Amino acid sequence: MSQTRQFSLPDLFAVCPLEGDINPHYKEAGAESAEWINSYDVFVDRQKAFFKQSCNELLVAHVYPYAG
């Protein structure tokens, strides 16, 4: 005999309306950051491609929108 369970999640956007933002220095700082990482030649071909596709600079620009 199986019993069905239901969960009701609260509307988190209504409770905590977050607005996304991006750091204004993203393009310049992101390029400098990628160049700096590449200068250490740590990653081989597949790792380098994976790291580049992960868009770490964009993630940081969204997490720290007000950093100088």
Averaged pLDDT, 47-67: 93
pLDDT given for residue 13 in this prediction = 86
Question: Tens digits of per-residue pLDDT, 16-42?
Answer: 888 889 999 999 999 999 999 999 999
CA 24/CA 65 separation, integer angstroms: 7
CB 22 within 8 Å of CB 61? yes
Q: Which residue has the higher pLDDT, 1 or 63?
A: 63
Q: What is the mean pLDDT of the chain?
A: 91
DSSP tag of 22: -
| pLDDT for residue 12 is more than 90 | no
Let me know: does 30 contact 57? Beta carbons within 8 Å. yes
